[in-house]
Structure 1
């Protein structure tokens, strides 16, 4: 049986129409219009770990942040990892220019996530606690993609990258946390309506860790592209909780993000992600001062 149809049957849905959701890189997501004209989403993660992680996090933070409501959960079978049935939020991912007002609101919501203090149950849940061995976690993330990067970039650039990483990781400030960190906090996962944040989605990568890694993608996709947004974001974030010194951590995490993104492109298909690959090669060479 088709995986989607089997999932629909498990959730006992009366479906009128189905639409694929693009730009979902670690799950298959469908927008479902029901016969009663309600809209819901079916999310089928690529692994049970991601399924269980997102399920537990969404239920945990539902009262603190505007996130999709878990309407149903299926643990899956031998052929399907399982699925979540999620409510729709009246908003769309950020695809246009971000102004200072929206950047301020993004800062507020990001800080609200980081302000949720993990409790004893959280430390024993499906969400990994990486805070207590933060440097080791960063090294694992970096090294897991190094073999892929090595096949793509010139040997000299690869060796310079390793040297830079091993030097700079020792200079990071003490971890800020422990906090829930999204790890994919980017425009595509921030839903807006009338220039206000109305939803945060895609929590399958969440960890308990240090906040300093969680600013990387909005720096790349918002702060570096739209002048004034960093200052506005800092004001919004600071209205909820203290913010780490971003200028102290941005260079290192911008570098690791570019390096890992190159490895990600290799895994997911260089031809398909050629533009993203080239963008990150430019970043990497710029950081390492390589022409």
Structure 2
């Protein structure tokens, strides 16, 4: 709270009430009600790199997508990484069942994001450009979690995973891009109001890359849970831009997501994230059993 108070003082806010925002995994986020009853948000990323990236991307997307407006920015000091003061968007993260109408609108907004063409200034900015080395990026991303995963899962399953990854990586089609990709496009980062997308949040992991990685989490959290949503999403997406053949790439990227998520749980605390760990472990076992049969 001392860190938060420093930020409040820096932004000169007259605060009436403070609420923690849950499910924010790489930042501390607080909902602030001011004395005049306006709602704003304070976001304190865990690193200065994430702070600078979010600041840059929110400014870049301001006129392209429904994203929070930056009301103030503090670069931080030796004790605090820095902070963003953000406007509130009228909407809440997706927590309930997703129907076909909402899935269509999610597709529209995701396609709008992928349609933003990186310009010369973007390539000079803090946004990482991994498109030209896409296979190398996927490999590095996968193996960065491998040592963590190795400590958690059965050795045979671990070896199966590495062999499957190396074999399938070379069979991927040419990457679709270059595009801005969110890298954490999931229900918790999609705000809805009256069954429509009201905003997209959390741009700390944005890169210039290939679109196919960006479908992984909505496949896991929406398509695989709610029948009919994938078709509706596809119609919405294709009303803006062509969609790649998802069936050709989703199995591989879902496999990567399950593997990396196990490593993420190891890093963030196995006991705290036991349910998520078991879900991904079960999927990995099932996937490799079916694939190798």
Query: TM-score, structure 1 length as denominator?
Result: 0.99
Matching residue of 1:205: 205
In the other structure, the counterpart of 1:151 is 151
Secondary structure of 1:288's aligned partner: helix
What is the deviation of 1:73? 0.6
1:257 maps to what in 2? Answer: 257
Counterparts of 2:21 and 2:250, CA distance in 1: 31
1:61 paired residue number: 61
2:274 aligns with: 274
Residue 215 of structure 1 deviates from its aligned partner by: 0.2
- In structure 2, the partner of 1:190 is 190
User: CA-to-partner distance for each residue in 1:127-175, whole Å, 9 max, x for gaps?
Assistant: 1001010111111110110000000000000000000000011111111
Measured on the aligned residues, the alpha-carbon RMSD in Å equals 1.0
User: Aligned ranges for residues 1-291 of structure 1 at < 5 Å?
Assistant: 2-289=2-289
- 3-state SS of the aligned residue for 2:25? coil
For residues 182 and 134 of structure 2, the distance between their equivalents in structure 1, rounded to whole angstroms, comes to 15
List gaps (5 residues or longer) in structure 2: none
1:5: how far off?
0.2
Q: CA deviation at 1:31?
A: 0.3
Which stretches of structure 1, 4 residues or more, deviate above 2 A after TM superposition? none
Pairwise CA distance, 1:286: 1.3
Query: Aligned equivalents of 1:11 and 1:173: distance in 2?
Result: 48
SS of 1:171's equivalent? coil
How far is the alpha carbon of 1:79 from its aligned partner?
1.1
In the superposition, the TM-score normalised over structure 2's length comes to: 0.98
Number of residues of Structure 1 aligned to a counterpart in Structure 2: 291
> Offset at 1:190?
0.3
For the residues of structure 2 that align with 1:163 and 1:79, how far apart are their CA atoms? Answer: 44
CA distance in 1, matches of 2:157, 2:81: 38
Structure 1: how far apart are the matches of 2:46 and 2:121?
Answer: 25
Name the SS for the 1:72 alignment partner.
strand
